[in-house]
């Protein structure tokens, strides 16, 4: 079968599955609708309409695991299609359906897809001042561990302190945490939210986290770390348009 014929068959099969699912929903049979869509996805795993319909039905019928699974799959598909805003939304929804899900790898994939030039830059080592005693709890190289992974570790451990990120040249920023939650950021003379954006854009260099006994003043208010990161990435995408 030629390409045109194969594409037509694909469209017809997807459309038939969607219509069947709608019919099952109309007659209050959501489980049959889900099964029908899952069967269609075995043949057409990259179909966004099928996965969106399955996500919608699962969310409306108290199937959070299935809804979360489809959100993650859709985020990957949207990244491939460079629809980063939709990918952000689906990642956030996946976390809402199942708080146990880590979306750090997805966030990192979005950032690197949005700025592939940054991912290709050579990582720089973290500078350390000789003779200074440091109480570093967590440290790493951004070429191996993304800033999102670091944030996830600090959030899960409910740590209070400062995450310092150093990129190439004179790029540097700090993110403040109170019991694992981001409450502030600094980078030169930038305002807290702008400073945080500068940190998020860094994909080369290193980071280190130092615990502190006292909590930091709250200069960034957000619904949570994941929401803050997603909103920041979305704003960066909008500025590029």
Q: Does the model's pTM come out above 0.85?
A: no
Which CA distances in Å does 221 have to 80, 138, 192, 233, 241?
32, 24, 10, 16, 26
Please name the fold of domain 3-101.
Answer: 1.25.40
| SS3 of residue 185 by DSSP | strand
Interatomic CA distance for residues 148 and 156, integer angstroms: 12
Domain segments of the chain as ranges? 3-101, 136-240
What is the full per-residue pLDDT of the chain (241 aa) written as tens digits?
556 667 778 889 999 999 999 999 999 999 999 999 999 999 999 999 999 999 999 999 999 999 999 998 998 888 878 888 888 888 888 888 888 777 777 777 777 666 555 444 433 333 444 444 455 678 888 877 778 888 888 887 889 999 999 887 778 999 999 999 999 999 988 999 999 999 988 878 888 999 998 999 999 998 888 888 888 888 877 776 6
Give the pairing type, strands 206-211 and 181-186: unpaired
């Amino acid at each position: 079968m030629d390409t045109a014929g194969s594409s037509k068959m694909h469209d017809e099969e997807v459309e038939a599955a969607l219509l069947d699912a709608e019919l099952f929903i109309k007659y209050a049979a959501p489980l049959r609708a889900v099964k029908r869509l899952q069967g269609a996805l075995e043949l057409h795993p990259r179909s966004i309409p099928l996965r969106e319909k399955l996500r919608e039905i699962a969310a409306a019928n108290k199937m959070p695991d299935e809804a979360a699974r489809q959100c993650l799959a859709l985020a990957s598909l949207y990244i491939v299609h460079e629809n980063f805003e939709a990918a952000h939304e689906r990642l956030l929804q996946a976390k809402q359906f199942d708080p146990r899900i880590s979306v750090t790898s997805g966030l990192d994939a979005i950032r690197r897809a949005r700025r592939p030039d940054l991912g290709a830059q050579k990582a720089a080592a973290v500078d350390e001042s000789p003779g200074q005693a440091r109480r570093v709890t967590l440290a790493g190289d951004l070429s191996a561990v993304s800033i999102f992974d670091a944030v996830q570790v600090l959030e899960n451990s409910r740590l209070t302190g400062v995450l310092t990120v150093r990129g190439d040249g004179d790029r540097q920023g700090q993110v403040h945490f109170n019991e694992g939650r981001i409450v502030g950021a600094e980078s030169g003379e930038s305002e807290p939210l702008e400073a945080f954006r500068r940190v998020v854009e860094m994909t080369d260099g290193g980071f280190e986290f130092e615990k502190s006994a006292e909590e930091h003043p709250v200069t960034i208010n957000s619904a949570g770390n994941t929401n803050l990161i997603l909103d920041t990435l979305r704003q960066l995408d909008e500025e590029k348009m």
